[in-house]
Amino acid sequence: MLLHRRIYAWTQANPFIVDLFGALLAILFFAIPFLLAGGSTGLREFVLSVAICLPLAWRRTRPVPAAAVMAAACLIQLPAVPETGLPADFFVLVMVHALAAYAPRWASLGGLALALIGGVLLILQYLVRPYISFSTEPGTVSGVHVGMIGFWIIALVAVEAVVLVSWTFGDLTRTRRLAMESLRDRARRLEVERQQERDLAAADERTHIAREMHDIVAHSLSVIITQADGARYASAQDPEIAAATLGTIAETGRGSLREMRRLLGVLRGDDGASTRPLPSLADIGDLVDGVKRAGVDVQIITAGAMRRSLPAGAELTAYRVVQEALTNVLKHAGPQARAKVDLDWTARGLGITVTDDGRGAGADPVRDGDRTTDGAPRTPGAGQGIIGMKERVALYDGTLEAAPAPGGGFRVAAFIPYTEA
């Protein structure tokens, strides 16, 4: 940073120190000489000059009290120093500027009015009064020469004009200061808003990642656990069944691992990450086949015709809904359970219904493996999987219901409308 910029930054950060230094310099040049002159008159003029100069140290930090002290000193000066004014009276203009720039509006206007009145008193005290006499000589008015009256008027106009100019420059400084404060405040608010947007985006992304991880891991692990349990009991009777089951476990594990690597590669921003497309409606058949191999009798029925294509995200949502519902069937429906997947295309969108005839919520109230922090079972549909399904469907203005079926088992019903352009 350049030297002059560093100096400017320091002066802006330490206004009182700068003003105090200026006030001490003013006392040095405009008050100390009277003290060196000696005598009672010199002492009096020294005290009044200090009273006028010292408030300059607070002209920006405490402008109203500083102006009050200076005004009082100037008023006392009129009778205390009747013959000549004080050089320090010049700093009244500096205080008028400070009031206009840093004080409230009422103090700014009040200081301007007081300074204008002070200018009149200054002219009357030090220019007019010494020349007033009661002479009746020709060319005089009440003992005052007509030419002097014109001089006094010009002097008064000049003094008042200087006061007005000082106040005007101070008011311009005030306007600029308020504009800069407004810009800084706006910059702070924009920074806070950007941080909030980043936090919301991060929270949304964490939720999205949690849903993807749950859908990938929960389904794969459910298939693996089911197959492993079946292989353990079947291996004693038929080793070939155990071998086939272990093959299914290996295939499911590899598929899950590929999905995990793809997801982690995207999160890392890895250019070499798999570009395999996300699951869609066309992959539901493969999903159902995998569940069948896990030992659940699943039937899929498609009714109606697609009026228009769903967005890729909506198709992924439909796939995840079916995947999560079948995963819950594997985990909670019990042995010999049967499930049915209905895909119903209507004029408004896609309806998805997954039902099973398993033990249902009454026999296994803790669906989706969910319990509260104190160990008590949650109500049906309170698991992370069902919550994730509802969040996914809600992103596309859809609805989802998950509850025990009236005749036993469990029922998940979702509807995803077409996204109109």
108 band by pLDDT with thresholds 50, 70 and 90: very high
**Domain count within the chain:** 2
Find the range with the poorest average confidence among 48-52, 137-141, 378-382, 389-393. Answer: 378-382
Across all residues in the chain, what is the average pLDDT?
A: 80
The pLDDT score that the predictor gives to residue 195 is 84
Could you tell me the pLDDT band of residue 134, with boundaries at 50, 70 and 90?
A: very low
Of the ranges 53-57, 196-200, 222-226, 290-294, which is most confident?
53-57
- pLDDT confidence bin for 376, thresholds 50/70/90: very low
What CATH number did the domain enclosing 289 receive? 3.30.565.10
Distance CA 176, CA 179 (A): 5
Average pLDDT over residues 98-116: 94
pLDDT in tens, 214-244: 666 666 777 777 767 766 666 666 666 666 6
| 178 located within any domain | yes
Distance CA 170, CA 109 (A): 11
- In the DSSP assignment, the letter for residue 271 is T
How confident is residue 384, by pLDDT bands cut at 50, 70 and 90? low
Q: How far apart are CA 373 and CA 228, in angstroms?
A: 29
pLDDT in tens, 50-82: 999 999 999 999 999 999 999 999 999 988 887
Please give the Cα distance from 416 to 352 (Å, whole number). 8
Q: Flag whether 398 is in a domain.
A: yes
pLDDT for res 147: 67
Whether residues 172 and 309 share a domain: the answer is no
Residue 228 belongs to a domain: no
* Residue 26 and residue 174 in one domain: yes
Beta-bridge partner residues of 356: 339, 410
Full-model pTM: 0.53
User: Are residues 187 and 301 part of one domain?
Assistant: no
Q: Is residue 247 part of a domain?
A: no
Whole domain around residue 396: which residue ranges? 282-421
Over residues 152-177, the mean pLDDT reads 93
**34 & 148 share domain:** yes
Do 172 and 287 share a domain, yes or no?
no
- The least confident of 136-140, 204-208, 403-407 is 136-140
- Residue 8 in any domain: the answer is no
DSSP state of 310: P
DSSP states of 1-47: --HHHHHHHHHHH-HHHHHHHHHHHHHHHHTHHHHHH-HHHHHHHHH
* Domain identity same for 292 and 147: no
Q: Is residue 296 located within the same domain as residue 413?
A: yes
Computed from CA positions of residues 246, 248, 251, 255, in that sequence, does the dihedral angle turn out positive or negative?
negative
Mark whether 405 and 295 lie in a shared domain: yes
Give the mean pLDDT of 357-383. 48
The answer as to whether 390 is a domain residue is: yes
Say whether both 61 and 175 belong to one domain: yes
- Point out the least confidently predicted range of 27-41, 156-170, 191-205, 212-226: 212-226
Is residue 303 domain-shared with residue 415, that is, in the same domain? yes
3-state DSSP helix/strand/coil % of the chain, to nearest 5: 70, 10, 20
Give 166 or 234, the one with higher predicted confidence: 166
**Token code pair at residue 363:** 């026999």
- Residue % of the chain over a pLDDT of 70: 76
pLDDT bracket for residue 354 (50, 70, 90) = very high
Residue 202 in domain: no
| Residue-wise pLDDT tens digits, 314-344 | 888 898 899 888 888 887 777 778 899 999 9
Percentage of the chain modeled with pLDDT above 90: 32
pLDDT of residue 366: 41
Name the residue among 55, 93, 100, 98 with its Cα closest to residue 73. Answer: 55
**Of residues 28 and 132, more confidently modeled:** 28
Q: Is residue 209 one of the residues assigned to a domain?
A: no
The reply to whether 186 and 312 lie within a common domain is no
Question: Contact, 255 vs 219, CB < 8 A?
Answer: no
Closest of 221, 213, 296, 214 to residue 252, by C-alpha = 221
